[in-house]
Chain A
């Protein structure tokens, strides 16, 4: 068995196949070389040995430390510091996003002034839920791209060329990034909403607003109203009910605020301190400062024991 493990060729880090490919290769070859009379013990041992991928033979291998690839390349297994729902809605003048400013550390409401709605360039806005550090990494990445675009553009004057990525480009790019990471089994644990405008074929900003979403495995789609996480269950049905294609800014904002308020009532990891952001044709990207929503806790349903309310019960 030791020889079997040692037989795998030594690979340099540059041309190393992905851990998956090595693993499957070993898996497949290991299984195919077992004669049918071999005991289950050896099967299991071969499997376990082939699971740690360090070169040098089984005798030099440390016990699996909980990572798949070589030491130092840990993968994301679960989100630690998380943001909850992000809501997005198209309206007459553009697109509006809303999110609260809470980052939870499990059940601890740790950071109550975190920014989850982030401008990427002068005409694109992203909102992220899920792991906050991954959101910051995505923000760095997108702003670095935006900076490079500006630096390598033909003209230093923004108006003279549309070198900046429009929202749809950012969305497509982000989808490729997320897919790539999930294919390495090391996802960026986020659901990202991208808001802005489309781009015409000649490069100018289109009149048509764009609202799209990318999730942690790269599922990407666009729609008139979007929500991530809990918002999909609580806010999205309400928004679908009330949505009209040519809503005024005030209406859209009221709808989003109501949805955030209801999320605060019902989502354990939500907060009533919220931020709204919008992208408009003329005004570019605008992100509000955080502010508190008023909440009302005297609903009979919140106060009275359900059993005493004369309804069928529940809690």
Chain B
């Protein structure tokens, strides 16, 4: 997908000749490019963290395109700051952002006949903790649970939309939706809002129609894939490498074996302790669910509150 030519503009790298600082009109090509460049670096929603600089700009206000007045933060192009949203930069007053990063980490692991999904229960805003016991897991059917981190208001809206769609499906088909179908529907629902995305980093965990564990990972605009495990949210960088070693058995010399659900739960607890140690947005408690064909078991495990 062609990126908005931010790199091309940036290479020009000239300070704009700033006209009347209170003018809101485009008075020169230089101020126009500088404005576009600054807005491309400012408040962009990363499509996927590992995609380097691929971003989509979501704040469209069209005003005050003349920059360099010092009144608004002139953002420099920064590599994949992603979810900062001006918390640590630009401490002066800034424009309204429809998004806020509320933190949190989710993890899902699939097994032979079960899936384990876990998420911490902390809700944050900037450096503040808003609440210590908010659930990030949402059962969509009896065999399928959605875990979402990101912007809570978008997550709640996404859940409401999905719940309605699940109801309509059950009404029309006279049966609850199967997990792979839910996965596809979630992907489509997210892409529907491609140009004003739900800021939600989802993992979907459940058992498919054959009773095997199924885990799907998503990005914010709905590209998804069935994977053996998935982690998303602020602590994903701490969990994914650990899971690569322990679940996918990478870079190990001992024999790989199937893990029982209870063993996986212990691994998940250790993983969240690890993530909570270094990620400020992860902590307080972990809600863990084991999904099997015959139902869902829940557990709440306390973490450090710092």
Contact = CB atoms under 8 A, between A and B. Distances in A.
Contact of B95 (A21, A77, A175, A179): A77
Contacts of A41: 29
B98 A183 contact: yes
A65 interface: yes
Given A31-B4, A65-B24, A219 B153 contact: yes
A223 B298 CA distance: 21
A20 B195 contact: yes
A21 B2 CA distance: 19
Interface stretch (B61-69, B228-236, B242-250): B61-69
Nearest to A217: B153
B3 to A, nearest CB: 9
A51 to B, nearest CB: 4
Contacts of A232: 128, 130
Contact of B98 (A47, A48, A217): A217
A45 interface: yes
A134 to B, nearest CB: 13
A291 interface: no
Contacts of B113: none
Contact of A48 (B4, B26, B96): B26
Contacts of A75: 61
A238 to B, nearest CB: 14
Interface residues of A, number: 44
B152 interface: yes
Interface string A181-194: 01101010100000
| Contact count band on B | 35 or more
Interface string B15-50: 000000000111001001100100000000000000
A111 interface: no
Contacts of A68: 60-63
A66 interface: yes
A51 B62 contact: yes
B93 A220 contact: no
B170 interface: no
B179 to A, nearest CB: 28
A179 B100 CA distance: 13
Contacts of B64: 66
Given A64-B63, A217-B153, A221-B152, A77 B96 contact: yes
Interface string A48-81: 1001100000000001111110000001111000
B156 A220 contact: yes
A75 B220 CA distance: 26
B77 interface: no
A230 to B, nearest CB: 10
A64 B24 contact: yes
B195 A24 contact: yes
B302 interface: no
Given A182-B98, A185-B96, A219-B153, A44 B62 contact: no
Contact of B93 (A45, A52, A67, A78): A78
B9 A40 contact: yes
A43 B60 CA distance: 17
Contacts of A302: none
Contact of B196 (A44, A183, A218): A183
A44 B29 contact: yes
B237 interface: no
B24 A217 contact: no
Contacts of A45: 29, 32
A19 interface: yes
B99 interface: yes
Interface in A179-235: 179, 182-183, 185, 187, 189, 217-221, 223, 232-233
Given A64-B65, A68-B62, A179 B130 contact: no
A25 B62 CA distance: 15
A23 interface: yes
A43 B153 CA distance: 35
B102 A219 contact: yes
A63 B31 CA distance: 15
A20 B60 contact: yes
A69 B156 CA distance: 28
Contact of B152 (A20, A21, A47, A219): A219
Contacts of B25: 63-64
B184 interface: no
Nearest to A222: B131
A44 B116 CA distance: 49
Contacts of A189: 96
B195 A21 contact: yes
A218 B157 contact: yes
- 4 nearest A-B pairs in the assembled complex, by CB-CB distance: A24-B195, A218-B153, A63-B25, A66-B63
17 contacts: A19-B60, A25-B195, A28-B195, A31-B4, A40-B5, A41-B29, A44-B29, A44-B36, A48-B26, A51-B65, A52-B62, A66-B63, A75-B61, A185-B98, A220-B152, A220-B153, A221-B130
